[in-house]
Every structure is written in C-alpha cells, then in structure tokens.
Structure 1
Amino acid sequence: MPAEWERHDATWIGWPTHEPDWPGKFAPIPWVYAEIVRALAPFERVEILCQDDAVCEDARAALTMHGVHADHYRLHVQPTDRVWLRDSGPTGVQRADGSVALVHWGFDAWSKYDNYALDVYVPEAVSRVTSLPRVEAMCHDNGQRLILEGGGIETDGLGTMLVTEEWLLSDVQVRNPGFTRADYERAFHTYLGITHTVWLGEGCVGDDTHGHVDDIARFVSPGVVVLAHEEDPADENHARSLDNLHRLQRARDARGEPIRVVTLPYPRAVIMDGTRLPASYANFYIANGVCIVPTFNDPNDRVALNSLAALLPEHRIVGIHAVDLVWGLGTLHCLSQQQPAAASAEVAS
C-alpha cells in the first residue's frame, strides 16, 4: 500500500444523498462537497458516485456553480447507503511489477448499522470503472470476508502501519470475531505488504467507528507522524492522546528508525444536539500537490494549517469548513479514497 502522498490517478468520493447522516443540517452538505471537488480538481481527477441520474444532474449543477470544469471530474451512477468511501471503498495497492490492484475488504457499516447492502458493491463499481483487478481479502482461519475499513489503516508506504487497539481489539463493534493482534498483522502483510505495525490505544471522543486512526495519527512523510493531541487535562481526549503520544515516542518504523512525532491541537469541542462530534484536524486528505484540511471556525485552525504547511512544503494547504460536515461523524479523509498511480517495477521493488 503506497503512502497517501504518493502519486494518485484519481480521488473517489460519493455525492451525498443520505439525509439521516446529517439530521437537520443536510442542506449545506452538497455545497461542502462541491467545494471539496473544487479544491481537488486542479490537481487530480475526481470520480464521483451518484445515487441515480437525478443526483448526477444535481452534482453537475453544484459543481458548475463552483466553477469546476467538467473535464476534471466524472459522474457514475452507483447507488450507495452512505458516502464514506474511505471505508466502503477498496484500498489501492501496487503489485511487484508496479501495477495497481484493489483490495476489496468486507464492509458491515462499522459493525454498528444495518443498512449497508448497497455499500458492499462500491469496490466492484470502482473496479468496473477503472478496469483494475480486485483482490478479495479473506480471513485466513475461516475463509470469511475480512472486515476492515480504510479509515482504520495508515501507512508510510515503506511497510509501517498505524492502527488502534480500540478499533480492532476491543469487544465493541467487533469486525472479525476471534481475530487476534497477530491475525491482523498477518492480514496487513498479506494484502498491504506491511512488515511492522504500530498499535496505538484509543481514537478520539465521538468517533462513531470506535477508533479509526485517521482522526488521530497520520504519516506526512517517512518517519514523521502528526498526532492530534489535547493538552487540557480536563478534556476527554487528553488521556487518550497522551497515551498515543507516549506509544509513538517509543515506536520505530519498519526501517528500524525512530518516529518523529509532531502534535496538532484539537479544535475546541464541537457539540451538536448534546453530542460531541469527532472534530479533528488529523482527518486531512493529501492529494497530488494539495492537502485539504477540515477547519472548525476555531483559533487552532490557523495553528493546524501552518503546521501542515511546514510539514508538506510541496503541497498547497487548503482549509475546508467542516462544522456542518462533521455532524455526519466524519470529514475529509473519511469521505475520500485515493486511487494510486502505477509505479515502475524498479520503484516497486
């Protein structure tokens, strides 16, 4: 699995239609999506799954109003239950010859919701459009589909993986009953080429997925991880993030090198209807030459944007207003999925 900052052929998203994901606040969400496409389109093609022809027309109208040229995106009719393609979509990997294949994980709506019958077909749709082969990930012990989500895995592209124990090893929202730490590490090696896994503790407060790593810790270059860290001891995220900071400070990557940790602040707690939402700057998405970052009308927005600009000097850093978006319990990384470009055999080896 290549690192996110390596070359992409495209970014995949799904056009929002499921109003219950943003109860009472759905109206602005398509416009947020249009702004996301506007930010990405100058740098790479955006592939957009739409519920039906009418949604295609709605998406095209919104994108036109945002000044997005039609040559920079493609619309595909593919019904979905939700639009969190980071999790329902396939993970792109590079084979030994540099060609790209798609790892097709099982998806069960985070072992929490019942409505995912349409989402399970997203990997097949991506494969059909791209003509890229699918590799179905299976549990080695029982031959069942391996349940995983892309928001739970983070790699440096050199064999190191970040995951959380809360996501895979707790007894809440269990994806693969009976699977152990060693079983998961075996699967990461088999399907993603991972040789070393760093296990963090818990994800952030309010995370509906129960511990996805993409809200808390992200590689920005080999050996460098940004970690969402809450300094206020009274905040629920403090103990969690401090534990993860200590784990990373002791960790080494697949090369045996120590990991440099750069902390990002959290925004002040974003609470809607009495519910704390998983607002985190770590849910950014790195595309070709641009990094889009969720912002929350908070003084720490500038701190996070400046920190990422220093760490990603070859990328344009673009803030995307995400106060409404996070009401759906996810933001920019959760809704996007990269399609990596092929590598030369020399680079791949």
Structure 2
Amino acid sequence: MPAEWEPHAATWIAWPHYEGDWPGKFEPIPWVYAEIVRHLVAGENVHILVQSAVLERRARRVLKDAMVSLRRVKFHHWPTDRVWTRDSAAIFVKHQTRGNSPLALMGWRFTGWAKYSNYKRDAQLPQRMAEYLQLALIRPTINARGRERQVVLEGGSIDVNGRGTLMTTEECLLSKVQERNPGMTRAQLEKLFAHYLGAHNVIWLGRGIAGDDTHGHVDDIARFVNPTMVVAASERDPADINYKPLRDNLRRLKKAKDQNGRRLRVLELPMPAPVIFQGRRLPASYANFYICNSAVLLPTFNDPNDRVALNVLTELFPARKIVPI
C-alpha cells in the first residue's frame, strides 16, 4: 500500500448532502468543499460522487462561484450515505501481476463503523470504482468458524509509510465496542495486513480521542509524514480527557521500530482546545490532515494552536502548500 504523500492520479470525494454529519452547521459546508477541490485540482484530478444530476448542478454552481476550474473534475452519479470516502471507498494498492495495470483496488467490507445503519450505498463504492477504472478488485476474507467472511476495515483506521510499516489502534480493531470483526485476533489482523497491504510491521497504538464516533481511528492521532517520521497528537493539559491516552500513544511510538528495525522519529502535534457543540465534544485534531500532490489540507479550529500546527507541517512538507481548512 503506497503512502499518502506518493503521487496521485486523482483524489475521490463525495459532495456533502447528509446534514446529520454537520448538525446545525451544514449551510457553509459546500463552500468548504469548494475550497478543498480548488486546492486539489491544482495538482491532480478530482472525482466527485454526487447523489443525482440535480446535486451535480448545485455542486457545479458552487464550484464556479468559488472560481474553481472544472477541467480536472469528473462527476459520478453514485449515491452515498455519508461523505467519508477515506473510510468507505476502495484503497489503491500496487501489486505484481501479469495484467495491464500495476494497480489494484482493495475492497474491504464497510459497515458504517459498526455503529450506523445508513452505510449500504457507501459499501458499494469499491465495486463501482473497480468497474469504472477497470481495475482488479480484491476483497480480503478470513476463514471464521468454517466459512469465509469478508474483513471489515476503514481507511482511516490505518496509516502506512509505504515501505512495509502500518499503524492502527487497539481501540478500533480489537475492542468489543463497535466490533468490526468479532473474534478476530491481533495475530490474524497482522497476517491480513502483511498479505493484502504488504505491511509486515504493525505498530499498535492504544486509544483514539474523545468524541470520535469511529471509536479510535488512527488518522486523528498519529500520521506518517515520511518513511521514518510520525507526527502524533499531544495534549499538554493533564486534566483533559485526551491527556492520558495520547501520552500512552506517544510512549508506544517512541519505542516503536520501522520495518527495518530502526526507531521512528516522533514529532508532537498539539491539540486544539476542546470543541463543544450542543453539549458534545467533537473529535477535533490537527492529525486529520490530507496530503495531496500540491498541498496538505489541514483542519483548523480558530485556535491559537492552529498556527503551531501550520508551522509544523510547513517544515515537514516544504514542497507543498499548507492549506488551513
């Protein structure tokens, strides 16, 4: 599995439509997505999934009003339940084959983070992508209790350095809460990662951050930024609920080694102050950035640490523009 910073032919996103993902705050979201697309098309093609021709027209209008060139944009009328394609869409992998393409799609089973019932449209995305791109679709399975069972995995639950090392969390993949693959062991998961993703070295972190309804996705807490370095979310306030789990993750990372047995370099990324909406803490984290060909899209929160996070990533990605979103 390639690292996120490696060259992309395109990025796949779904145009926002499900207001429940931004309760009370949906109105500006299409404009935020227009800004995202504007920076993506500067360096790569963008495939946008829309519910219908009507929504495509609305999306085109927003993009044009935001002065976004549509030359590198391709719309697909593929209805989705939610917009989180990092989790639900196929994962691109390189593989050795006698076919025409060195690429294949990994179609893990998607079940709405083992929490939500509206996921069946999203679960169809790997098949749709494979048919459109005419690439092989690999569906990882495991023999459980005498029968083959498709393995559940979301893209945000793992992060890789593209050289054979993968990070994930025990909370997401081994917990009985929001259990993705009942009965599956750590050893079985590691074997799957090695076989299907070429990741023979797995780093297990502990827990994710408060408010994360995925129950522990690693893309909120630790990310590879090159083959030998990880940035890790760090909370400085001992009274904060995230303090202990994030300190534990830092301890694990500082002891971790890469696929060649070498210690990783670990750089701390601050956390923003708690973001509360309607009495609920939201999973705000600077680690949930996206690396595209020409930029790094960084979530920001109108917080003093926004500047700190921007400076950290500016030093780590000197050839890319760091864009606050």
Same fold (TM over 0.5): yes
Residue in 2 that maps onto 1:115: 118
Specify which of 210, 233, 240 is matched with residue 238 of structure 2. Answer: 233
Offset, 1:138: 1.0
Name the Cα RMSD after superposition: 1.0
TM-score, normalising length: structure 2: 0.97
Which amino acid counterpart does residue 180 of structure 1 have in structure 2? T
CA distance in 1 between partners of 2:194 and 2:315 (Å):
32
Per the TM alignment, residue 30 of structure 1 is displaced from its structure 2 partner at its CA by: 0.9
In the TM superposition, residue 131 of structure 1 has moved relative to its aligned partner by 1.8
Deviation at 1:145?
1.1
Tell me the alpha carbon deviations over residues 100-155 of structure 1, each in whole angstroms, 9 at most, x when there is no partner: 10000101100001111211111112112222221111124331110000000100
Distance 1:298 1:253 in 2: 33
Q: Secondary structure at the match of 1:62?
A: helix
2:186 aligned to which of 178, 181, 184: 181
1:21 Cα shift? 1.7
Q: What is the CA-CA distance between 1:289 and the residue it aligns to?
A: 2.5
Question: What is the match of residue 209 of structure 2?
Answer: 204
Where does structure 2 lack aligned partners over 5 or more consecutive residues? none
State the SS of the aligned residue for 1:139: strand
Counterpart in the other structure of 1:29: 29
Match of 1:261 among 266, 272, 287: 266
Q: How does 1:293-308 map to 2 (within 5 A)?
A: 293-308=298-313
Q: Which residue of 2 aligns with 1:106?
A: 109
The answer to which structure, 1 or 2, has the higher relative contact order (CA under 8 A, 6+ apart) is: 1
Q: Is 1:130 paired with 2:137?
A: no
Name the amino acid aligned to 1:251: A
Quickly say closer, same or farther: Cα 1:140–1:255, change in 2 above 3 A: farther
Counterpart of 1:179, as a letter, is M
Alignment of 1:1-349 (within 5 A): 1-96=1-96, 99-141=102-144, 142-320=147-325
> How many aligned positions are there?
320
Q: Structure 2 counterpart of 1:85, which letter?
A: T
Unpaired stretches in structure 1, ≥5 consecutive residues: 321-349
| TM-score between the two structures when normalised by the length of structure 1 | 0.90
Q: How many Å separate the matches in 1 of 2:203 and 2:212?
A: 20
Distance 1:16 1:140 in 2: 37
The Cα offsets for residues 216-271 of structure 1, whole Å up to 9 and x where unpaired, read as 00000011000000011011111011000000011101111101100000010000
